[in-house]
Structure 1
Amino acid sequence: MSDRQSLRQLVRERRRALTPAEQQVAARQLLAQCQQHPRIGAARHIALYLANDGELDTRPLIDWLWSQDKRVYLPVLHPFNPGHLLFLHYTATSPMTRNRFGIPEPEFDELRLRPHTSLDILCTPLVAFDATGNRLGMGGGYYDRTLTRWQSHQEGPLPLGIAHDCQQVETIPCESWDVPLPEIITPSRRWCFEAR
């Protein structure tokens, strides 16, 4: 686990070192990649996240999805089931709060909830990735738990990782619970991996 922690620290420092101008360019390039993505074009219900700790800014993408009449959902820490996520419909007027990690999320409202299995696409943040689709998250396992049905049956929303190019590493030391991704989108390219 110490190797994973060292890798997290290294890559988080890399992405935090990006300048505001570099972050803006990366966000525009991410948007361009996503605008050309056939599955995103066909999707109606898309889960994203708000950038934190140097993550790639998803706001331009969210604004574009809204302009295309697509519904955007954000993750919320499950209030009754620790270690799990819920996904709430997110609009420009959604009341927001900060979760226990200091990350903005919509205020819990059962009426805005959508089961993650009925999403079309679930965009996941990540700390690092390698050229075979392995993803290293922050260590809480939230997205790995969310994607267990995808891993075992290829059921549920298509998981797409989103990352800066500088988050690619040579290899991720994997654990049994890690869920590799079928695709990762960076500002410069789409990484597509063979069906698992």
Structure 2
Amino acid sequence: MTELRVPALVLAAGGGSRLGGRPKALLRYRGRPLLEHALGVAREGGCDGAVAVLGAAAAAEVRERADTGDCLLVDNPEWRTGLSSSLRAGLAALPAGASAVLVLLVDTPGVTAEAVRRLLAVHAGRTDLAACAYAGRRAHPVLIGSAHFPELLATATGDAGARALLAKHPVTLVDCTGAAVPDDLDTPADLARWGIA
């Protein structure tokens, strides 16, 4: 049987335009930048390494100010075109032999290592598609088996990400209600709610 290896792909390229242009990757949550928090969640949840995609606007600053350990940092010069360009850049940088990828958004601080563990626990092969669900609603993180990578690359456009892929195929929903919160950070009110500086 082929070994199952699932690295995390942390999408952290957004420019934070609704937050006054502050890069979300460097917003501080529980004493550390959000990118460090997301990488810690992936590591503690059991991912096999990580790739993080950065936007050109803040890539140098993130490299200077965030402790990313052995995470592979990838610049996305097309970050302004939307999340899909970051997905493509991240998939291209994944280590050989990955059986799937676990996609995390840097601006979802309520996603926990427990949610990652639950998602990884259902991974059985390269054709898997799975997502955490909260009160029956599909949200992040998402696990995409490597057999779907070519279709994902072909169908991801703008900020839609994997939406077209997930709409076309059966997706295993993994209940994470109470174990995590998938809300993302888009407004100053969101920052205040999460106590983020």
What's the TM-score, normalizing by structure 1? 0.33
What's the TM-score, normalizing by structure 2? 0.33
Structure number with the bigger relative contact order (C-alpha 8 A, sep ≥ 6) is: 2
